[in-house]
Amino acid sequence: YADIAMYKAKEEGRNNYQFYSSKMMNIALKKATMEKELRRAIEENELLVYYQPQIDARNRSLVGVEALVRWDHPEKGLVPPDAFIPLAEETGLIKDLDHYVMCQAMSDMVEWQQMGLAPGILSLNLSISQLMKNDFFFKLQKTLLETGFKVKWLTFEITENQVMLNPKRSIKKLTMLNQMGVKISIDDFGTGYSSLAYLKRFPVDKLKIDKSFIHDLPYNAEDCAITNAVIALAESLQLEIIAEGVEQRDQVRYLLEQGCYIIQGYHYSRPLPKKEMTEYLQR
């Protein structure tokens, strides 16, 4: 019986192996196709930059916008970034993608400024791999010059986990950005594993409370406690604090009570394509 059992396990194992390897093959094929398509998307301007307002909830004034990329796929329609950013990271295409978004967003901003509709700060999501590239600073300077966008209006959002992949090098690069006059914001704050000791040493200007903590405010006691702790931390380190993913009036009220004034979320506006953002600014 033991032999039969062993034999069966081997058979099943082999079948499983074949099953998994054909499944992996499929995934690999899908990835390869998508990589090719994404490359084309960057070259043929299928990427769109949307803008989401960041609002000072005390007087409902606009303080800035976050640029958020979308992929206008010829067959699939509008594809959200979570569906292709990971692949872009994996394949190195993120470098071209972030550069494309940077150029587009800065030139849109200058257009709005020239129309007298200045939205304030531009927040760009920056992948750490883009920041670590040797030509990053050169490209940034070049884009600033070419578009005429002023560095004092620029914030880069970097996620906590990405920074922690290589804290020493990150600190060096972020310090260089800071010296240029660029602001640094830690995105999705609270979801990662950055130690507070590092936070002290990072040249950071803002913390963005992750939307997962905002979602159940003010009814979930744990989320309230975490939100309050992040706000207190920001206050004592003299950092700006922003809440993202704010959808409900009650959430705004709670955040205001706790001392978080800058708010981004569907409650005020969804991310808007350029034309709608222009109309928003005109209103």
Interface contacts to ligand C2E, rule CB under 6 A: 52, 68-69, 80-82, 85, 94, 98, 101, 125, 127, 157, 187-188, 211, 244-247, 264-266, 271
Which residue's entry shows tokens 């329609």? Answer: 77
Comparing CB distances to Mg ion, the nearer of 125 and 147 is 125
Which residue's C-beta sits nearest to Mg ion? 157
What torsion do the CA atoms of 104, 157, 116, 266 make, to the nearest 10 degrees?
100
Instruction: List binders of Mg ion among 141-170 (CB under 5 A).
Output: 157
Comparing CB distances to ligand C2E, the nearer of 123 and 278 is 123
Q: Is 98 in the site for Mg ion (CB under 5 A)?
A: no
Binding span for Mg ion by CB under 5 A among 16-24, 37-45, 97-105, 179-187: 179-187
Q: Which of Mg ion, ligand C2E, none does residue 246 bind (CB under 5 to 8 Å by kind)?
A: ligand C2E
How many residues does this entry show for the chain? Answer: 283
Collapsed DSSP state (helix, strand, coil) of residue 258: helix
Q: Is 125 in the site for Mg ion (CB under 5 A)?
A: yes
CA 87 from centroid of its chain's CA atoms: 15
Q: For 149-185, b where at least 16 C-beta lie within 10 A, e where not — what string?
A: beeebbbbbbbbebbeeeeeebbebbeebeeeebbbb
Collapsed DSSP state (helix, strand, coil) of residue 118: coil
- Gap between the Cα atoms of 199 and 279, Å rounded: 39
> Which regions of 57-109 does DSSP assign to beta strands (E)?
61-73, 77-79
- Quick one: CA dihedral 208, 273, 145, 140, positive or negative? positive
Comparing CB distances to ligand C2E, the nearer of 4 and 188 is 188
The residues pairing with 69 across neighbouring beta strands, listed in sequence order, are 49
Comparing CB distances to ligand C2E, the nearer of 125 and 155 is 125
Q: Is 130 in the site for Mg ion (CB under 5 A)?
A: no
Answer yes or no: are the C-beta atoms of 103 and 136 closer than 8 Å: no
Q: Which of ligand C2E, Mg ion, none does residue 81 bind (CB under 5 to 8 Å by kind)?
A: ligand C2E
Q: Which of ligand C2E, Mg ion, none does residue 80 bind (CB under 5 to 8 Å by kind)?
A: ligand C2E
Answer yes or no: are the C-beta atoms of 188 and 208 closer than 8 Å: yes
Comparing CB distances to ligand C2E, the nearer of 16 and 220 is 220
Nearest approach in angstroms of CB 58 to ligand C2E is 19
Nearest approach in angstroms of CB 187 to Mg ion is 4
Comparing CB distances to ligand C2E, the nearer of 198 and 268 is 268
- Gap between the Cα atoms of 209 and 204, Å rounded: 14
State the binding string over 181-220 for Mg ion (x if CB under 5 A, else -): ------xx--------------------------------
Comparing CB distances to Mg ion, the nearer of 108 and 157 is 157
Nearest approach in angstroms of CB 79 to ligand C2E is 10
Nearest approach in angstroms of CB 178 to ligand C2E is 19
Task: For residue 53, say if its preceding peptide bond is cis, omega within 30 degrees of 0.
Answer: no
